[in-house]
Structure 1
Amino acid sequence: MTPFSIALRFAALALLVTFIAVPQLFAQVFEPLTVNGAPAIYNHGNLVSLTLSHLRTVFVATFASVVLAVSLGIFVTRPSGLEFLPLSRTLVNVGQTFPPVAVLAIAVPLVGFGETPTLIALFLYGLLPIFENTLTGLTQVSPLTLDAARGMGMNGRKRLVGVEIPLALPVILAGIRLSLVINLSTATIGSTVAAKGLGEVIIAGLQSNNTAFVVQGGLVVAMLAFFIHDLLSLVERRAAQRIGA
């Protein structure tokens, strides 16, 4: 990245943090989007609290997806787990087969309203890209590299930890990045089942016909997704550089 693009990113990040912390400073910017004297800035909750709740929900669900999807990916690439690959693919595809709204509709009667049904929906929705990228990364490790590791006396566990996972890490991180960014936007629907998050701002705007609220919620989610995508892309590049890819 050029110094200009880096400076631009820092400026955008500073602007986002300022808006979340002190949104009233931007009231004049959003006033043209209001009608009939409606408030220009969301005033039914604290944006800092909603943003932190939104991020917590997304990160917890994604972490759970990473643990299961990576574990499954490792298991089905071992000789003892190859026969379970079709079953594993079927399981991780459940989240993509059923849209998050449908998962919420099923989960609410079972676990009630709040954050839990949203966590379940995001967890299921985030499995597929992580699982498939784990499979891709591990199966693309060169057989010659693995033979060299065996020749050095490394057993299966040491080959996995010391050779396969480090070489597959950039691809696995790409899957995690994709899952995380998707879940950041998908988490907004959690507010329909009383989960705290930035979806509250968007839904409040839709219910009151206040475009300013909708734009505010959408912009914060979009900018968070951009910066998290950017950060994880940087981590991927660093991981790829370490293995000479």
Structure 2
Amino acid sequence: MTAVFAMGQFEGLFRQLTPDAREVIYQRESFAQLLLNHLLVVAVASAFSVFIGVLAGVLVTRRWGRDFLPLVSQIASIGQTFPPVAVLALSVPLLGFGNLPTIFALMLYGLLPVLRNTLAGLQGVPPSVVEAARGIGMGPLQVLLQVELPLASPVILAGIRTSVTITIATAAIGSTIGASTLGNPVIAGLVNGNTAYVLQGAVLIGVLAICVDSTFERVQHGLASRYGR
């Protein structure tokens, strides 16, 4: 991510790509500040997606909650299939412009991978292991926290990884309604016909997504090795 702080070093390259542009390096805002704002929006939206997705997955895999499984899955599916741009358009009159409607749209869009993988992870825990835990005197909450969730954690983390990566890429659309993200240079480039601006925003978003995805991959492999999944 050092390119965030040294974009001016690539001015010659961007000048060749857009020789007619008056400016080829986006300077309206600091790339470092845009990066921090982008990460903040993604972190808040992802935190809500993970909390709601994991909680819903746990609730509908309990004996008393299994009847709600089809309903919860359908609601989560609708949240991802509904275009984020449409969610933004509908939420702006209620939530205003800026980060809030962006976080709301990203939360809905990132919910399904977390929920699906939570369900798959919990349902994949061997029943014999659960019964053994109950047999030694563990209560329902102890079984969930000390047996089911740890064993399901590699699968759940895979869903979180997918959700966060999607959210990083999709967060750029928030710039269309006043949110400060790495989508700002992309939008500015599209409006002004400046390909260099578009590339700068797109490359930084791509590098950020790759870095975060690689971090999740290492953690996921560590959990999989620990729990043999």
2:161 alignment counterpart: 177
Within 2, Cα distance between the matches of 1:44 and 1:218? 16
Q: State TM-score, norm by structure 2.
A: 0.97
State TM-score, norm by structure 1.
0.91
What corresponds to 1:122 in structure 2? 106
In structure 2, the partner of 1:8 is none
Cα pair 2:59 2:65 within 8 Å, conserved: yes
Count of residues in Structure 1 that have an aligned counterpart in Structure 2: 229
* Amino acid in structure 1 at the alignment position of 2:18: T
Corresponding residue for 2:7? 23
Asked if 2 retains the 8 angstrom alpha-carbon contact of 1:38 and 1:210, the reply is: no
Moved more, 157-166 or 86-95: 86-95
- Residues 102, 179 of structure 2: 8 Å contact kept: yes
User: For 1:39 and 1:209, how far apart are their aligned partners in 2?
Assistant: 12
Summarize deviations over 1:11-70 as a string: whole Å, max 9, x none: xxxxx32x2113212211211112324212111111000011011101110000100010
Match of 2:58 in 1: 74
Asked whether 1:216 is paired with 2:200, we answer: yes
Q: Which amino acid aligns with 1:147?
A: E
Q: Is the 8 A contact 2:21 2:194 kept in 1?
A: no
Equivalent residues of 1:138, 1:168 under 8 A apart: yes
Q: Is the 8 A contact 1:188 1:198 kept in 2?
A: yes
Unpaired segments ≥5 residues, structure 1: 1-15
| Structure 2: tracts of 5 or more residues without a match | none
Partner-residue secondary structure (3-state), 2:29: coil
What SS class does the counterpart of residue 158 from structure 1 fall into?
A: helix
Within-5 A mapping of 1:1-245: 16-17=1-2, 19-245=3-229
Whether the 8 Å contact between 1:203 and 1:214 is mirrored in structure 2 is yes
Structure 1 residue 92, shift from structure 2 partner = 1.3
* Aligned residue type for 1:170: P
Distance between the aligned counterparts of 1:37 and 1:115, measured in 2?
A: 30
CA contact (8 A) 1:33 1:210 kept: no
d(CA) in 2 for partners of 1:222 and 1:149?
44
Query: CA separation in 2, counterparts of 1:48 and 1:59?
Result: 16
Paired amino acid for 2:152: A
- Measure, in 2, the Cα distance between the counterparts of 1:217 and 1:69: 30
Q: Distance in 2 between matches of 1:52 and 1:95?
A: 26
Q: Give the CA deviation at 1:123.
A: 0.4
Give the SS at the match of 2:181: coil
Letter in 2 for 1:153: G
Task: Report the Cα distance in structure 2 between the residues aligned to 1:155 and 1:241, rounded to whole angstroms.
Answer: 27
> Counterpart of 1:6?
none
